[in-house]
Structure 1
Amino acid sequence: MHRPTALVPLHHVSLRARGPEDVVADPHGRVLTGVADGRILRVHHPGDPRRARTEVLAGTGGRPLGLELLPDGDLVVCDAERGLLRVSTHDGTVRVLADTVAGERLRFCSNAVALPDGTVYFTVSSRRHPLDRWIGDIVEHTGTGRLLRLAPGDREPEVVLEGLQFANGLALGGDGSFLVIAETGSCRLTRCRLTGPRAGDAEPFADLPGMPDNLWREGPDGPVWVALAGPRLPPLDLLHRTRPAIRRAAARVAVHAPYRPSGTVGVVAVDDRGRTVHHLTRGHSGFRMVTSVCAVGDHLVLGSLWESGVAVCARPAAR
């Protein structure tokens, strides 16, 4: 495991709205995010606390999670309540791309990537637990996460992979031949091949020191940044090895128990071979539950399902 270094906080940008779960950077150095009240926000000058400001781009009417910026500036949005959406950043128009799969309501969409031909791959974290009971799926270890594919012009996605442990962030390989999938419930990254004779096959890509959430790729030659929503918990690993009935009972307790995120936060960057390039961590952090990270200039911008703003940290030197 790559030796961790310090995650250095610089400042906080308040959004006056809870839960900027995913953050993505646009070509102009602005950061886009979705918050708990359904709005899509754009943050200007996130690296300068004196100039930072926020504008509202749209409202989904649901709960936006993962965002994917398209070449024309619009967004593909994974909405935990409404399904897979396309949102115009020009006039705020929201269009539903898909809201069912195989006759089943599509819920708890988590993250998406768009290919150059218009194909969209996206994850569903759980088929048993909704977003407001996400911890139940982590504890129960249901393995009901999915990777779905929506072809251009289609209204109904197809299932590419099943049995994923809380499928979460997605990133495209630098050469476009594979996807990297974050499995939060197993503290690992999984690779799904898109081309060649093994297309559709899944295989281990990287084991991680914590629970991965959203992924963000820094260009075709850059690393994949991984937000660690929490540290690895040995008692949870032991629970996952018990019988399903025990895990279900534990999950019923967990969803009703008060939850407070760990004060240990971290991010990891990996290359296209799954090797760790950076591992940044901070204990006793005032900014908790890091669910996303993107790079803007000399800064890393962190999002959180828990907090009411984004954190801006120092970016490590390139390796």
Structure 2
Amino acid sequence: MGSAGTGEESPGNSRNIGMYGLQEIVEREYRACGFSAAGVAAFALLEEEKERFVQWLGQGYGADMGYLERSAGYRHDLRRLFPAVRSVVVTLTSYRRPPEVRQPDGAPRIARFAWGDDYHDVLKRNLRRLLEAIRGYEGFGAAKGRPVTDSAPAFERAWAVRAGLGWIGRSSMLIHPRLGSFTLIGMLLLDMPLPDGCLPAQRVPDGCGNCRRCMEACPTKAIVAPRVVNAGRCLSYQTIERPGAVESAVRPFLDGRIFGCDRCMEVCPYNNRPDMPLAPENAGLEAVAERLELTADGWREMTGEEFEARFARSPLLRAGLEKIKSSL
């Protein structure tokens, strides 16, 4: 299954559609549910991904994210999340906004994924819409499923590759040939199997070639090898995940960043084409202007109560006000 569906059918339309299988249904419905692309893969155990993940952790690249080690033994098996899983619908949602939607020059930098409301909530809501749309088709009315985002222990990028939605670039990010890497991955785990004889999605060939721009542009050289990131040196980890303030050795590389870092994606050629699609209008990822326009003084003067009120549904709550202030 590809990712160029028309989305012309409305969710829940079960008229004359008994002929459709899961791939065709997803192809018809994903756009109406707020997604930019979608694919389907049969459930399997991702043993190779598990082995690579364990090796990566063994090299110390997981930093202080203990939850990664705790899930290393079962992250490859989606049955831990949904025991009845038989197939996996993988969705991509672009979060590229129009050029005029941007942070003012000099404003403390926030990674683009955090310009709107928490995408975990947005994706789960849209995945539930997709599940309801699937149930509207003949033969799928009793389908059960679980929406999953990257907050769950799963190899979501590997599943996106299996669903034919891109390849893993040197930055370790998923790159879709049309959407680039400014995308959010969602998964819908279903108890409905793919039909017998259904061919797997065609894998997208690696399109990085000899390009090393992401590796060369990383401020802290956290991409230590192609597709291998030392999280402890990554500014996204330092400004979001790491307990406490950013390490002193990393502070000189912040360059105004207070939450996340987009540098490896900003330089990627697949993210810099003039015809690139924007976030779907019905995706629910609208940027919140008041979050983008805050000055450094505005951040310093903010109280805890103001922070919680202004960022009640924002990913920035994850870091907390004191950690954000410490990066100024």
Name whichever structure is richer in strand by fraction: 1
Name whichever structure is richer in helix by fraction: 2
Q: What is the TM-score of this pair, normalised by structure 2?
A: 0.28
State which structure, 1 or 2, has the greater radius of gyration over its C-alpha atoms. Answer: 2
Q: What is the TM-score of this pair, normalised by structure 1?
A: 0.28
